[in-house]
Chains A and B, each alone.
Chain A
Amino acid sequence: MTPLLEVLEPKEVEKLHEATLRTLENVGVEFQLEEALEVFKTLGAAVKGSRVYIPRALVARALATVPERFCLEARNPDRSLWIGGGETVFAPPAGCVYVQAGGLRREATPGDYLDLVRVINQSGHYGTNGGGIVIPGGTFGSDEERFAWLVLAGHWYSDKPQMGLNLGKQVSQDVLDISRLVFGDRLGCHVLGTVNPDSPLIYSTQMLESLFVYARGGQGLIIAPCSMAMATSPATLAGTLVVNNAEILAGICLAQFIRPGTPVVYGNTSTISDMQTMAISLGAPELSLLVLATAQLARFYRLPSRAGGALTDAKAPDIQAGMESMLSILATLAGEVSIVMHAGGILDSFLTLSFEKLILDEDAGGMAGRFRQGIRVDDETLALGTISERGPGAHFLDADHTLRHFRQEQWHPQLSDRETYRVERDYQTYILAKAEQVWRGRLQTYNRPVLSVESERRMLTFYQQRFGSEPFLV
């Protein structure tokens, strides 16, 4: 049996759903963009000022047009991925301010971003790449150029599906324009970007502009609040889920009304606010409970989900980081979340990306993934033939049955130490040094996946015309 972890009873899901519909109908959601209000008005929703009261019939109508799963295209079609439908896809971090490598924390640079894209392109763990893994400093003519460069460089150095970036109309438009240059005439979902409601129950102008750009372009949207229970949503997890669910459904409604069939993901990155410091707490067990509930609600609505990650508030890749990251990534996998941003590398509550932890978490994800597969019990795995053949006191190392199964049955770590004790080894730094070797090794063996000369020329011309400068590509 495969252990799918669910924390809500079917009738509790119904209760949350009903409470959400009542919230949408009676409290409403604020949309800070005239165009969005128009969409709802046209469909007969009551709109007062910027507050939209969404009747349940409209919610049902929107849910009926959302795809249950969709294909996120990669420029290399072999690397395209299904989002939804039972698989879990890992995505790298997003939005980090700092990087940490070899113990030192510093502001991320454009060079770090390129290195990350290269390391991730060669990872068997991360299915997607790009977007704003880190937001580097460095001199760009404008922030719009900075964001466009992140997207262009992601495509340039990686042939995995790309994550998007959203900070208003222009940034999102650039994201779509650059993808179009890469994909040419190939139809489909070329990029997956996140829109965050501003909890509780607000969609800001900037995020709505981005939502319109993506929906009109038929591109993938993750709608994901990041409320902090007690501060921007109720202190109870159930209350937080009601507020979040209302926000997500409201966003999904808008995306579907703009363009029915827009690929959307039911996302949630909410957690608690620490009662003493009010800091966001990602290592909290409450986050993992919310992850499980999010995946379950998404299944209830027949939508792909986004939640979780290998998350921690620790400032270094230490024991706290290990404990917290394992809890959240295990919940993520055991709950069958469809796509997982921040699936490795995060330190300091989303602020820092650790190169070593990016690799360590590949193992955490691997372990959790194996856990999720559970124990297969059938005539072949019961191994009765081998047991009777070998009898008491034998070993199974050279049995045919072993050869047939051991590689699938066991997950093998890249880093975990399963050797005997070595006196000469410094165990304080051992695993981190191994992780460092892995990412440095990948940089050395990296080969840039070929882009057609035609696409390259189109991308460079676009960048030059749009920003009057050459993109930084080394």
Chain B
Amino acid sequence: MEFAEMNEHVVKGHIEEVLQGTRGMLAQGVEPLRIINEGLIPGMNIVGVLFKKGDMFVPEVMHSAKAMSGGIGLVKPLIAENDVPSRGKVLMGTVKGDLHDIGKNLVTMMLEGQGFTVVDLGVNISPDGFVQAVREHRPRVLGMSALLTTTMTSMSETIRALERAGLRQDLKVMIGGAPVTSAFAREIGADGYAADAGSAVEVCARFVEESAA
């Protein structure tokens, strides 16, 4: 299979074809990193453009992302962990007391689709839970989602807990959820706010550029 054909299968969300293609390329001795960078990721980039234009919709994007990760999964064992291309690691969760997770899941999916590595902690994560997870995973970005006015306060508690644990300096904190605003983000000392999943990707991209600069 050619790279172009593989890109096309990623766009169409043809998981089986992408897996076959990846296996085929590996068997032919194509360099693993090239499979990712030329066969898989460019397909997902096209998906990003089509989605923004409104020519593709969420379920289709998810299938494309699944196809891409399927391929990456086959290639991964063959390359050193640090060589796996990632735009950075993001830790995600909904805050304590909050079970609303649809928005968080969408943000997670979009970030993964755009090349970020996401560790999804799930729902109802206490400040302590976030602190421990940051210590364990050392992410570039911590993302917190809240949909209840009464759970939003847990976001600032988490930021304070991170400060106390000495984990705040190297970390960017992004928050979101329907009742959350950029003013609230500033007030509690978060580094960024995103109104929707698309902007969440932009915010994370900015964070990564900033820390690279």
Contacts and interface: CB of A to CB of B under 8 A. Distances in A.
Interface of A: 97, 135, 137, 143, 146, 167, 198, 204, 206, 228, 230-232, 235, 273, 275-278, 351
A135 B149 CA distance: 8
Nearest to A351: B178
Contacts of A230: 58-59
B59 A235 contact: yes
B179 A97 contact: yes
Nearest to B102: A231
- Top 8 nearest A-B pairs by Cβ distance? A275-B57, A97-B179, A143-B150, A278-B106, A231-B102, A278-B58, A135-B149, A97-B149
Contacts of A137: 149
A275 B56 CA distance: 9
Interface of B: 54, 57-59, 99, 102-103, 105-106, 149-150, 178-179, 196-197
Contact of A275 (B58, B99, B196): B58
A27 to B, nearest CB: 20
Contacts of B178: 97, 351
A276 B57 contact: yes
Contacts of B54: 276
Contacts of B103: 278
Contacts of B179: 97, 351
Nearest to A350: B178
B191 to A, nearest CB: 23
Contacts of A97: 149, 178-179
Contact of B102 (A146, A232, A235): A232
A278 B99 contact: no
Given A167-B150, A230-B59, A278-B197, 10 more contacts: A97-B178, A135-B150, A137-B149, A146-B150, A230-B58, A273-B58, A277-B196, A278-B58, A278-B102, A351-B179
B102 A228 contact: yes
A351 B57 CA distance: 25
Contacts of A228: 102
A114 B106 CA distance: 37
17 contacts: A97-B149, A135-B150, A143-B150, A146-B150, A204-B99, A228-B102, A230-B58, A231-B102, A232-B102, A235-B59, A273-B102, A276-B54, A276-B58, A278-B58, A278-B102, A278-B103, A278-B106
Nearest to A108: B149
B149 A275 contact: no
A231 B109 CA distance: 13
Contacts of B106: 278
Contacts of A235: 59
A143 B178 CA distance: 19
B87 to A, nearest CB: 22
Nearest to B58: A278
A231 B178 CA distance: 17
B128 to A, nearest CB: 19
Contacts of A275: 57-59
A464 B105 CA distance: 42
Contacts of B99: 198, 204, 206
Contacts of A167: 150
Nearest to A280: B102
A208 to B, nearest CB: 13
B108 to A, nearest CB: 12
A229 B124 CA distance: 23
Contacts of B59: 230, 235, 275
B154 to A, nearest CB: 11
Contacts of B57: 275-276
Nearest to A349: B178
A143, A228, A278 — which one has the most chain B CB atoms within 10 A of its CB? Answer: A278
A228 B100 CA distance: 12
B3 to A, nearest CB: 29
